[in-house]
A and B are shown apart, each in its own frame.
Chain A
Amino acid sequence: MSSKGKRKPKVGVFKFASCDGCQLSLLDAEDELLGVAGAIEIAYFPEATRAVVKGPYDIGLVEGSITTHHDAQRIQEVRRQCKTLITIGACATAGGIQALRNWKDVDEFIRVVYATPQFISTLKLSTPIAEHVPVDFELRGCPINKYQLIELISATLRGRKPNVPSYSACLECKRKSNVCIAVARGVACLGPVTQAGCGALCPSYDRGCYGCYGPMETPNTASLSSQFHILGQSNAQITRDFRGFNAWAWQFRKASEEYEHK
Chain B
Amino acid sequence: MSGRTRTIKVDTLARVEGEGALYIKLAGERVTEVKLKIYEPPRLFEAFLRGRHFSEAPDITARICGICPIAYQMSAVHAIEGALGVRINPAVRLLRRLFYCGEWIESHVLHVYMLHAPDFLGFQDVIAMAKDHKPIVERALRLKKIGNRIVSLLGGREIHPISAAVGGFYRVPTKNQLRELVDDLEWALEASLETVHWTATLEFPDFEQDYEFVALRHPDEYPFNEGRLVSNRGLDIDAAEYEDHFVEQQVKHSNALHSVLRGRGSYLVGPMARFNMNFDKLSEVAQRAARQVRLTPPVKNPFRSITVRSIELVFACAEALRIIREYEPPAAPRVKVPNRSGVGQAITEAPRGSLYHRYAIDEQGLILTAKIVPPTSQNQKRIEDDLREYAARVATWPLDEATWKCEQAIRNYDPCISCATHFLKLTIARE
Residues of chain A at the chain B interface (Cβ within 8 Å): 15-25, 27-28, 30-31, 33-34, 37, 42, 45-51, 67-68, 71, 96-98, 100-101, 104, 106, 108-110, 112-116, 119-120, 122, 126, 142-143, 198, 201-202, 204-207, 210, 212, 237, 240, 244-245
Contacts and interface: CB of A to CB of B under 8 A. Distances in A.
Contacts of A109: 44, 47-48
B125 A48 contact: yes
Nearest to A245: B63
Contacts of A16: 41
B312 to A, nearest CB: 20
B218 interface: no
B430 interface: no
Contact of A51 (B125, B165, B257): B125
Interface stretch (B25-33, B151-159, B318-326): B151-159
Contact of B47 (A112, A202, A206): A112
Contacts of B252: 116, 119
A97 to B, nearest CB: 5
B43 interface: yes
Contacts, number: 181
Given A21-B63, A49-B127, 7 more contacts: A20-B418, A50-B125, A120-B42, A122-B42, A198-B157, A206-B333, A240-B56
Contacts of A20: 17-18, 65-67, 416, 418
Contacts of A101: 44, 47-48
B130 interface: yes
10 contacts: A19-B418, A28-B159, A42-B127, A50-B15, A98-B48, A108-B47, A110-B47, A204-B156, A207-B170, A237-B53
**A-B CB proximity, top 4 nearest:** A21-B66, A49-B125, A109-B47, A51-B124
Interface in B124-177: 124-128, 130, 137-138, 141-142, 144-145, 148, 156-160, 162-163, 165, 170-171
A8 to B, nearest CB: 12
B12 interface: yes
Interface in B53-76: 53, 56, 59-60, 63-67, 69
A122 B171 CA distance: 39
Contact of A113 (B46, B118, B249): B46
A79 B171 CA distance: 43
Contacts of A51: 124-125, 128
**Which of B43, B52, B163, B407 has the largest count of A CB atoms less than 10 A from its CB?**
B43
B137 A50 contact: no
Interface in B97-118: 110, 114, 118
B64 A205 contact: no
A89 to B, nearest CB: 9
B252 to A, nearest CB: 5
Contacts of A205: 156, 162-163, 170-171
B289 interface: no
Contacts of B407: 50
A202 B162 contact: yes
Contacts of B12: 46
B14 interface: yes
Contacts of A15: 18-19
Contacts of B148: 28, 30
B120 to A, nearest CB: 13
Given A28-B159, A42-B127, A113 B47 contact: yes
Given A19-B66, A67-B43, A97-B63, A48 B257 contact: no
A92 to B, nearest CB: 13
B159 A143 contact: yes
B144 to A, nearest CB: 6
B43 A98 contact: yes
Contact of B15 (A33, A48, A97, A204): A48
A71 B48 CA distance: 22
A104 B170 contact: no
Given A33-B141, A49-B14, A143 B170 contact: no
A112 B333 contact: no
B250 interface: yes
A48 B65 contact: no
Contacts of B128: 49, 51
